[in-house]
Amino acid sequence: MSTAIIRFVVSASVLWVTALLLPGVSSSLVGAFLAAGTIAVIGWLGENFLGNQVSRHSRGFVGFIVAAGVIWLTGQIVPEFDVGIIGALLASFVIGLIDMVVPTFIR
C-alpha cells in the first residue's frame, strides 16, 4: 500500500513539474494530483479492457500516442489541469523520458 502511495505522489509531482515547465500545459498542485488519479484510472481501465500490451512501455510510438491521448483526455475531465493537443504530446514525451530515468521500483 505504501508503495502505491509513493508511486502516486511521484506521478503527481512529475505532472506538476511538467506543467510548470512546458508550454501548453498548466496545472495547480491539486490539479496535478487529480490528474494523476484520473490518469491512473484511465490506465487501469485501458489495461483491463485491452490487456497489458497497451502500456507505453511495450508499444513504442503507439504507446507514446496513447499516453498523449490519455493526458489530453485527462485535461478535458479535470478542471484544474489544462492541456492542449501539442501540450499533451510534449508532456507524454517528457514523462516518457522521466520514466526512463526514474527507477521502476520507485514509480
Number of folded domains in the chain?
Answer: 1
**Is residue 7 one of the residues assigned to a domain?**
yes
Q: Which residue has the cell 508550454?
A: 23
Regions of the chain where pLDDT drops below 50 = 107
Q: Quick one: which H or E segment has residue 107?
A: none
**Is residue 81 one of the residues assigned to a domain?**
yes
Cβ atoms 64, 92 nearer than 8 A = yes
Among 82, 86, 65, which residue's Cα sits nearest to residue 20?
A: 82
pLDDT tens, residue by residue, 8-31: 888 888 899 999 999 889 999 999
**Is residue 106 one of the residues assigned to a domain?**
no
